[in-house]
């Protein structure tokens, strides 16, 4: 029974940890959604708050099935958890294969999604903070280049644009941002009017898509390790759920056999069922 208990409580603790994490994701996403203006962004792909809520909700449901099913030995919940987790694992593997075989198509769609985020930059505070973080982290600007910011209505470089930020880029594109003690949010103003060589002295001119790909290639071991670790964790949880289901079925069969035996036969044979301590 020790082996069974180890499987049971390892699965329970693992699911409980991710259950708590999913609840935090839902709470953070809900708070962010309520705090900002209504209906500013209604698309899942470019709304970080909505994305947190959806991902957190899916995680919450899946881990609840595993957590409660493991604790109470409920086969139907464990089977549902096992099927969903297996489907997610297969989808992740399929996505990786498709991404490898159709890299150009995936990159094209990713760049379109990133461009949509650039266009909606001022419409959502969460999206704005996310873009600023990426640009500062990877020292990049725009999708393919800093000129992509002209697609945003606030930074559009035209004579008819009344915005003070016209022909500029967000402050997160600025080269000297890392060394500044006082944040200058106007450092990217007017860079589209400069020659590219002069603009490169003021802001990062390389797009974030190229910088992110470059970072992934130079940190291939880290990316591969994180991906393999996630997949391995899912495989382990699938194995634990399958093992517990098998053990529960075995004990239920032994219990049925035990119920058919008479008290006298049990005393004479000194036969004790394996499930005597099953519910502890």
Total-model pTM: 0.79
Q: How far is CA 263 from CA 209, 250, 267, 269, 270, in A?
A: 74, 22, 6, 10, 10
Going from the C-alpha of 230 to that of each of 33, 132, 219, 279, the distances in angstroms are: 28, 27, 17, 31
The domain ranges of the chain are 1-101+230-280, 105-218
pLDDT tens per residue across span 19-55: 999 999 999 988 888 876 555 555 555 678 888 899 9
The pLDDT tens digits for 194-208 are 998 899 999 999 999
Cβ(202)–Cβ(194) under 8 Å?
A: yes
Question: Over the stretch 129-146, which tens digit does the pLDDT of each residue have?
Answer: 999 999 999 999 999 999
The pair of structure tokens assigned to 189 is: 């103003």
CATH among 1.10.1450.10, 1.10.1060.10, 3.10.180.10, 3.40.50.300 for 105-218:
1.10.1450.10
Q: What is the pLDDT of residues 141-163, one digit of tens each?
A: 999 999 999 999 999 999 899 99
pLDDT at 177 over 90: no
The predicted structure's pLDDT at residue 156: 93
Please provide the average confidence, as pLDDT, over all residues in the chain: 86
Task: Report the C-alpha gap between 120 and 213 in whole angstroms.
Answer: 23
Single out the residue of 200, 190, 106 nearest to residue 149, CA to CA. 190
The predicted structure's pLDDT at residue 277? 47
Please give, one letter per residue, the 3-state secondary structure of 181-204.
CCCCCCCCCCHHHCCHHHHHHHEC
Half-sphere exposure at residue 214, Cβ-oriented, CA atoms within 13 angstroms:
9
């Amino acid at each position: 029974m020790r082996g069974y208990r180890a499987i049971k409580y390892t699965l329970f603790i693992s699911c409980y940890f991710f259950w708590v994490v999913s609840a935090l994701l839902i709470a953070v996403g809900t708070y962010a959604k309520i705090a900002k203006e209504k209906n500013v962004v209604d698309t899942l792909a470019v709304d970080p708050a909505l994305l947190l809520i959806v991902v957190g909700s899916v995680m919450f449901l899946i881990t609840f099935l595993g957590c409660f099913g493991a604790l109470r030995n409920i086969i139907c919940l464990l089977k549902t958890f096992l099927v969903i987790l297996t489907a997610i694992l297969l989808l992740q593997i399929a996505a990786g294969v498709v991404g490898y075989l159709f890299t150009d198509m995936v990159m094209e769609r990713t760049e379109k999604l990133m461009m949509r985020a650039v266009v909606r930059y001022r419409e959502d505070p969460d999206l704005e903070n996310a873009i600023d973080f990426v640009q500062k982290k990877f020292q990049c600007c725009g999708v393919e280049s800093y000129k992509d910011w002209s697609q945003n209505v606030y930074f559009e470089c035209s004579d008819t644009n009344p915005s003070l930020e016209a022909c500029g880029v967000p402050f997160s594109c600025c080269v000297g941002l890392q060394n500044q003690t006082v944040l200058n949010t106007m450092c990217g103003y007017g860079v589209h009017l400069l020659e590219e060589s002069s603009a490169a002295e003021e802001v990062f001119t390389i797009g974030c898509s190229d910088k992110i790909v470059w970072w992934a290639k130079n940190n291939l071991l880290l990316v591969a390790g994180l991906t393999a670790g996630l997949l391995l964790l899912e495989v382990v949880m699938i194995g634990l759920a399958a093992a517990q289901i098998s053990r529960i079925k075995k004990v239920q069969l032994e219990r049925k056999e035990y119920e058919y035996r008479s008290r006298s036969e049990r005393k004479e044979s000194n036969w004790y069922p394996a499930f005597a301590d099953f519910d502890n």
